[in-house]
Copies of this chain bind each other. A is one copy, B any other.
Amino acid sequence: MNRNVQPTIHDIARELKISASTVSRALNDNPRISLKTREKIKAVADSLGYRPNTLASNLRNKKSNTIGIVVPLINRHFFSSVISGVEDVAYKAGYTVVIAQSNDLAAKEVNIVQSMYSNRVDGLIISIAMQTEAFDHLKLFSKKHIPLAFFDRVVSEIETDKIVVDDFAGAYKVTQHLIDQGYQRIGHLAGPQNLMIYLHRKEGYLEALKKNNIPFDESLVLINTLTSEDGVTAAKQLMSLSNPPDAIFCGNDITALSVMIYLRDRGIRIPQEVGIVGFSNEPYSKVVSPSISTIAQPGFEMGQKAAELIIRKIENKEKTYQTIILPTELIIRESSYRGK
């Protein structure tokens, strides 16, 4: 009954007894077609409810006007902020954004990236999964000269655009802050050291200790995957040391929160007895009690920058790669402030 079919330029052409090429040109406002016919064609297009088939256009033009973005987990404030930033810029520039989440699984990441390649995305923005340690799926993009940009969790062995925050400086700042507050034995929950961000955070921490002549105690640094549960496990381990820490720099706010709750439930006063700082400034860190000191990362801006960079590459306005290091901001809150 109902015509399910979607009209094409040929339908418009038939209606007006002209050729499809004229219709195509008219709809693209090509001056080769007289204004009069152009208007006539557009009127018919409207009346038929014509909408260009982007697929066909993309195939012919070898351009999908699509940017892919791969994140470990969409449902995470930092990442959804980045996506939001990418979408914001991409939309304004006429690009569609395709998203996928790796769930921090290397295997899924490989699949996703290959599927994005098959979908012929014009560019790919990615923050790699925790487990990812082989990069052939990503090298494919650079090999084929398809623009690729990393953000946050970057791969150092692939030369391309990168947007990161200054993790080292952030970690240094936050550690120095703990020291300024009079904390003496500062522990650190670090993330997987194959990821630069966590390595840099640990290095910033170590550097701050060194600058302040605080001896490094290996037993105070624990490496795990920084889940909520990891935080509890680590807190248990740290506090059962014969000489437990009086402050803990957690690799992210998720562990900072779970560590804090664990300590609180054990009757340990924060920040009086133990100081806690996190990293990332999750929305809840500001409103929990005590509120959590942390390092703010400009997620939305990272997304915007990543999108801008990749679009410049796609449109060939830029040839050279750059690494943009965005500044972080130390946010001092209750969990580490003893009024000094």
Chain A positions within 8 Å of B, measured between CB atoms, are 2, 4, 6, 49, 51-56, 58-59, 64, 66, 73-77, 80-81, 83-84, 87, 91, 96-101, 108, 112, 114-115, 117-120, 140, 143-145, 257, 261, 282-284, 287-289, 300
With A and B bound together, what is the CA distance between A101 and B115 in angstroms?
23
In the docked arrangement, what's the CA distance between A120 and B70, Å? 22
Q: Judging by beta carbons under 8 Å apart, are B87 and A120 in contact? A: no
Contacts A287-B257, A288-B284 given; does A99 touch B83 at CB 8 Å: yes
Chain B's closest residue to A84 (CB) is B75
Is A120 within 8 A of B288, CB to CB? no
Q: How far is the CA of A6 from the CA of B96 in the complex (A)?
A: 22
- A336 CB, nearest partner CB in chain B, Å: 17
14 A–B contacts from the bound complex (CB under 8 Å): A2-B145, A4-B144, A6-B144, A49-B140, A51-B118, A53-B59, A55-B59, A59-B59, A75-B77, A77-B77, A96-B115, A97-B99, A287-B288, A288-B288
Closest to A257 in B: B287
| Contact in complex: A118, B73 (CB < 8 Å) | no
Cα-based distance from A76 to B53 in the complex (angstroms): 32
By a CB distance below 8 angstroms, the chain B residues around A282 are 283
From known contacts A54-B120, A55-B59, A119-B54, infer whether A100 and B99 are also in contact, taking CB-CB under 8 Å: no
Q: How far is the CA of A22 from the CA of B325 in the complex (A)?
A: 51
Residues of B within 8 A of A51 (CB): 114, 117-118
Q: Are B98 and A96 in contact (CB under 8 A)?
A: yes
Taking A51-B118, A75-B81, A283-B284 as known contacts, 6 extra A-B pairs with beta carbons closer than 8 A to each other, sorted by chain A number, are: A55-B119, A66-B98, A75-B80, A77-B283, A96-B119, A257-B287
Which of B84, B100, B117 is the one whose CB lies under 8 Å from A101?
A: B84
What are the 7 tightest A-B residue pairs by CB atom distance, in nearest-first order? A289-B289, A284-B284, A75-B84, A80-B80, A287-B288, A74-B84, A54-B118
Chain B nearest CB from A66 CB (Å) reads 8
**Chain B residues with Cβ under 8 A from A96's Cβ?**
98, 100, 115, 119
A112 to chain B, nearest CB (A): 8
Q: Bound state CA distance, A171 and B21, in angstroms?
A: 58
Return chain B residues, CB-CB under 8 Å to A119.
54-55, 96
